[in-house]
Amino acid sequence: MSDEKDLQQLKKEAAERAKQLAKERLAAKQAAEQTEPSLESEDDLALAKKKAAAAAKAKAAALAKQKAAETGEISEEELAKKKAAAAAKAKAAALAKQKAAETGDLSEEELAKKKAAAAAKAKAVAAAKAKSADVAEAKEETPSPNQPYLDKYVKVIEEHLGKDVLENAYINRLSKDVPTLVAKKDTYYKVAEFLKYNEQLSFDYLSELHGTDFQTHMEVYVHLYSYKNRQSVALKVKIDRDNPVIDSLVPLWPGANWPECEAYDLLGIRFEGHPNLIRIFLGENWVGYPLRKDYEPYDMEG
C-alpha cells in the first residue's frame, strides 16, 4: 500500500514538473514573439534613416552642381570626372593619330595642325637665327684686346714702307683674335723682312707656314712670334692659282724650309729663292697636287 502511494506521488510530481516546464516554454515563446516585432521595427527605422540620408546627399549634390553651373565653379568630384574624360579623349586622339601615321592618312584637322606646327617651328628657328645674328654683330662691335697691337703694326709699317704695301689688316676672331696683315704679292717679302728686323716689332720666330686652295686663288699663311714683345702676328698673301709663285721666306726664317716644301708638294706653290724646293712627301714622279680642289688621282693602269 505504501509503495503504491509513493508511485502516485512520483507521478504527480512528474506531471507538475512537466506542466511547469510547458508553462515556461510557452512564456518564452510569447516573449520571443513580442521581441521580433520590435527588432523588425528597429531594422525598418535604420533603413529609413539610410534612405533619408541618401536622399539628403543627392539633394545636396544636385544643389551644389546647380550652384557650380551658375557660378562657374566645379566640385572636386566633377573636376575628377572632367579630367578623366579629357584623358580618355586625349588617349583616343593619340591612338587615332598613331593609326593615321601608320596608314599615311591624315584628317584635314590633323593636316592643318601639322602645317601650323611646322610654320611655328620655322618662325621660331628664324627668330633664333636673327637673335644669334644680332648677338654676333654685337660681339663684332666689341673691340678686340689685340686691336692696339694691330694698330701699332700697321702704323709702323706704313710709316716705313708706305701705305700701299698692305692689302688689308684685321683681327682674326676665328683664330684667338690674332692681328692679321695681308700683303700684296710684290710686297710680301719686304713686309716679312720688316716684321723681323724692325726694332719695334722683332718677329724673330716663324711658327707656322701653310698654303690653301680657295679655287679662285691660292693663299700662303705665315704665323710669326716676337719673343721680345711676347706678341703674335699673321702674315698672308694671295697668289694666282694658275701660276702659284711667291718669294721664299727661308732666307729670313730657316724654319720655313720644310713647310714651303710641303706646300709645293701638296699644292704646287713654287717658292722662289728656296735653297732646295723638293716634293718632300710624294716624290717628284707623283702626278698632281692632292690638296688642290681640282685634284684627280692618276691611275697608271687606266
Burial of 122 (0-12, 13-18, 19+ CB in 10 A): exposed
How are beta strands 178-183 and 166-172 bridged, if at all? antiparallel
Half-sphere exposure of 62 (CA within 13 A, CB side): 6
Residues 6+ apart with CB under 8 A from 146: 171, 177, 178, 179
pLDDT at 40 over 70: no
Structural domain total, the chain: 1
C-alpha cell at 102: 601608320
C-alpha cell at 88: 580618355
Q: How far apart are CA 18 and CA 239, in angstroms?
A: 144
The number of angstroms, rounded, from the C-alpha of 261 to the middle of its chain's C-alpha atoms is: 45
Residue 220 counted as domain residue? yes
Residue 117 counted as domain residue? no
Residues 6+ apart with CB under 8 A from 293: 213, 215
Q: Name the β-bridge partners of 290.
A: none
The pTM is what? Answer: 0.54
Q: How far apart are CA 160 and CA 93, in angstroms?
A: 79
Give 3-state DSSP helix, strand, coil % of the chain, rounded to 5. 60, 15, 25
Residue 87 counted as domain residue? no
Residue 39: band (very low, low, confident or very high) from pLDDT cuts 50, 70, 90: very low
Residue 216 counted as domain residue? yes
Range with top average pLDDT, 27-41, 90-104, 168-182? 168-182
pLDDT in tens, 136-195: 665 566 899 999 999 999 999 999 999 999 999 999 999 899 999 999 999 999 999 999
C-alpha cell at 48: 529609413
Q: Is the dihedral of CA 241, 180, 176, 173 positive or negative?
A: negative
Residue 51 counted as domain residue? no
Residue 26 counted as domain residue? no
Structural domain boundaries, residue 210:
146-241
Residue 169 counted as domain residue? yes
Residue 94: band (very low, low, confident or very high) from pLDDT cuts 50, 70, 90: low
CATH of the domain at 230: 3.30.460.80
Residue 233 counted as domain residue? yes
Which ranges of 72-168 would DSSP assign to H, the alpha helix?
76-103, 108-141, 147-161
